[in-house]
Amino acid sequence: MQIITYPNIILRKKLPKFTDFNQPELKKFINQMSDFMLKEDGVGLAENQVNSEIRVMIANTKNGPTAFFNPRIIKKSLLKPSSEEGCLSFPKIYGTVRRHKKITLEYEDISGVTQQIQACGLLSVILQHETDHLNGILFVDKIKKFTDGRERLEELRKTAKENEK
C-alpha cells in the first residue's frame, strides 16, 4: 500500500456508493488500510488516498481504527471552530480549517449494517476531513490560514493545472 499525494487526480475522484459487503477480501483490505494508517502516523485515511473504488474511510476512534463505509453527515452543529490540519497526501503542508464542532455521522459498518456515531472535537474534524476526501474535496480547499507549506502548495497547484491540460 502506498499513499497517493497531491496533485494526483485520483484525489479529486468522487467514489461511488459501496454495496458489495460480501466481498471475501474486504476484511483483509480494511485491516491493511488500518495498519497502513497507523504506520504512517495518520489519524484518518480515505480510500482514494490509497486508490481503489471502495467508498470507505478509516478513523482512529477510542476503539482503535474503525471503518466507515458510505459516510454521510446527517446532523451538524452551527458552531465551526478552526483547528490545524494536515494530510498524508500533502506532506509538510499545514493550515487551519473551520469544521462543525459536533456531527452525527451515518454509515455502514464492515458487515453492511447502518450505524450512527456522534462525534465532537478531534474525531469530528477527522470524520469531516475524510468524508470530504471521498467526495474529492481536499483540506487545502478550505484552509483559512497556512501554518506551513504555503509556497510548496502553490508549486503543486501549478503542476495540477499543467496536468489538467
Which is the catalytic residue, given 130, 151, 154, 162?
130
Hey, CA dihedral for 65, 71, 77, 82, is it positive or negative? Answer: positive
State which of residues 26, 33, 37, 87 lies at the interface with Zn ion (CB under 5 A).
87
Shortest Å, Cβ 85 to Zn ion = 8
Residue at shortest CB range from Zn ion: 87
* 130 counts as catalytic: yes
Task: Give me the residue label for grid cell 478550505.
Answer: 142
Shortest Å, Cβ 147 to Zn ion = 16
Shortest Å, Cβ 50 to Zn ion = 11
Task: Give CA separation, 123 vs 5, 26, 70, 86, 134, in Å.
Answer: 23, 24, 17, 14, 17
| Cβ proximity of 9 and 42 under 8 Å | no
Residues with a known catalytic role: 130
The footprint of Zn ion (CB under 5 A) covers 87
